[in-house]
Structure formats: structure tokens, C-alpha cells
Amino acid sequence: MPYNLLLLPLLGGFLLLHLSYYWRFHAQRIDGYRLLVESAIAGTILGILARVIIILTGPTRIGRWAWSLWPQLFPWQESDTAAWALVLGPLLAFVLNLFISREKAKDMEVRRHGNSLTRLLHEAEQEERPISITLANRKWYVGYVAESPNLDPQELYFRLLPLVSGYREKDSLRTVQAVLYEEVYSDPDCNSADFVITLPLKDVQMANIFDMDLYRQYFAEADGDAPAEREPAAPPLIVPDLTTGPPS
């Protein structure tokens, strides 16, 4: 195969890695040289598949017609194999996406290669469980993860829908509630999506799954945030719907 035609299988391999959800999250966390090598490997496999297709379809009536016409349009040796390799890249990506959704592919990649913080944010988003976040400036948030980061090195932020915001005292590091959002979200005129905040991953000093009932029952008083009379059971949390606006 002429050297310039090798660009077509290479491009087909890159399109397969970029367009298929299964490979996209893997490809975006590797450097350029490794991506080039993996695209070349994928292109080689596509070239083999392309040659098999040509051999199998050659004896058919349509195949004989197509392969007799091809040299008149593209008179370069092995150009048919290179062209098929290019076409197979996005075609196979489309087929893979039918079986592996973007969410499933992201979940698989984060669970296999994500760090502790990335996995925590991802699992909290998937399970719709609130988390507690302490930042480097001692700001403290409790809320739902509206959008967790993937493994792209350039993705440096995540989004949080706060239920409680406050801070930690300088010496004791006890949490102090400053703003409660639950009552605001219950207002039918409120769009909860407007309260989503974007936080930098590098500033997160502490993060954990948060249970509001347990916090109110056992820890709020120690932090100086308990109500005047402790109730035997805390009211259920309001879970805002970010797609349709505030709950009714």
C-alpha cells in the first residue's frame, strides 16, 4: 500500500477511538504519542477487516461490478482497502455506541482508572446521594453532584447543587451552617438549576458521602448547628430535578 494511503486507515482508527464512547474516555486521558500509536493499531485492524470484506464480496455480482469500476475512479494500488478502513472506523463506532452508552462507558472508565475523588463524585452522581465537600479556603458544602468530571486531564472542575453551605472554624474545624437551600428549592417559582455551582477539583481538601439524617441526629449539636429542640427523625431531603426545574 502506498505511503500516502496509509493515512486513511490511521484516520479510520482515530475516528473509531474518538467517536465510540467505549474508547473515547480512554483516549482522552492518554498523551498524543500514545494516542497516535493506538490509532495506528486500530487502523491496522480496520485494514485487515477491510481486506476480508473485499475478499468475501469479490465473487458476488455487486462485488465484481464495484471492484471493476473502482480502478477507473481510484487507480492506486490497495486504495480500496484503505478506503474501506476509513469507512469502517466511524461505522464500527456507531455500532459500539448502540450497545455501550456514553454513561456506561464513562462509568466503566472511571471505576477502572479514576482516582478516589473522581470515583466518589461519579458514584454520588450515579446514586443521587449528597456529599460533603471542604475546600482549601475552609468553605463547606453539602449537596448533590450535578456533573462529575471524567478522566480528561483538562477537565479541572465539577458541578454541585448545594443543600447546605457554610465554613469550618479555623482552629476546631467544626462545621458552621450559613445557608440552607431546601426551603428555597420547594418554592415552585424557583429553578434549582440556577443554584448549581462550579468548584475546582484541586481545591477539594476533604470529601465524603453525606447523610443529612445522621448528621442532624448525632453531629449537628456538636458542630453548633442543631435546632433548639432535636426531633426524633429529620424530615426527608428534597431532591431537586435539574432537568425539569424545581420540585412542586
Higher pLDDT, 190 or 91: 91
pLDDT band with cut points at 50, 70 and 90 for residue 4: low
Per-residue pLDDT, 70: 66
Percentage, residues of the chain above pLDDT 90: 35
Arch. (CATH architecture) of 114-219: Roll (2.30)
The pTM of the full predicted model, rounded to 2 decimals, is 0.68
Task: Pull the grid cell for residue 101.
Answer: 452508552
Per-residue pLDDT, 74: 63
Q: Where in the chain is the domain with CATH 2.30.30.100?
A: 114-219
pLDDT per residue as tens digits for the range 112-166:
888 889 999 999 998 999 999 999 999 999 999 998 888 777 788 999 999 999 9
**10-19, 154-163, 213-222: least confident range:** 213-222
Per-residue pLDDT, 222: 53
Task: Decide if pLDDT at 224 tops 60.
Answer: no
